[in-house]
Amino acid sequence: MKFLFAYLKNDNHLIKMELEDGKEVWAKTTKAVYSWAKKTYKEGENLNIEYTKDDRGKYTVTRITALGDKTEKKPAAEKKAYVKSSKYSQPSSPNTQDLIVRQSCMRGSCQAVTTLVGQVNDPDTLGDIIVSIYEKLYNKIVNG
């Protein structure tokens, strides 16, 4: 089949191709296939074009590869847009906020103590240091 050109119209990605019988047809495709064809192939180039035809006679191109190309080349998948969930945008309760503060303080105190691991060999002493750093961090955050 012959690739004629790729066209974008109103967010519709279209490929114009010439079938084996010489008939020129328009086919819808994905953004990834459209982009791949537009940047990789030239107008009028003979290619392997995989497509489907529905019962209404509409064509959809699923893949385009060069003639004789045995490697599996797939266009990059489209990235999905990030949608912020309303579940997490609601303000959390005071208990949840306090829990977050406590967990953050404990994590910070544990990270601070990792610098002492080679110097203090007693686990009880390390535990006491973690607790004292945690209490100081928590009081500083809560009381200002």
**Share above pLDDT 90 across residues of the chain, in percent, rounded to a whole number:** 3
Q: What is the pLDDT of residue 88?
A: 56
- Please report how many Cα atoms fall inside a 13 Å half-sphere around the Cα of residue 14, on the Cβ side: 12
The mean pLDDT value of the chain amounts to: 81
Residue 60 forms part of a structural domain: yes
Domain count, the chain: 2
Q: Please say whether the beta carbons of 6 and 44 come within 8 A.
A: no
Residues 30 and 62 in one domain: yes
State the CATH number of the domain containing residue 42.
2.40.50
In a domain, residue 128? The reply is yes
pLDDT of 73: 52
Rounded Cα distance between 48 and 128, Å, is 70
pTM score, two decimals?
0.46
In a domain, 75, yes or no: no
72 found inside a domain: no
Query: What are the tens digits of pLDDT across the range 25-43?
Result: 999 999 988 888 888 888 8
Range of the domain at 19: 2-66
* Distance, CA of 123 to CA of 73 (rounded, Å): 56
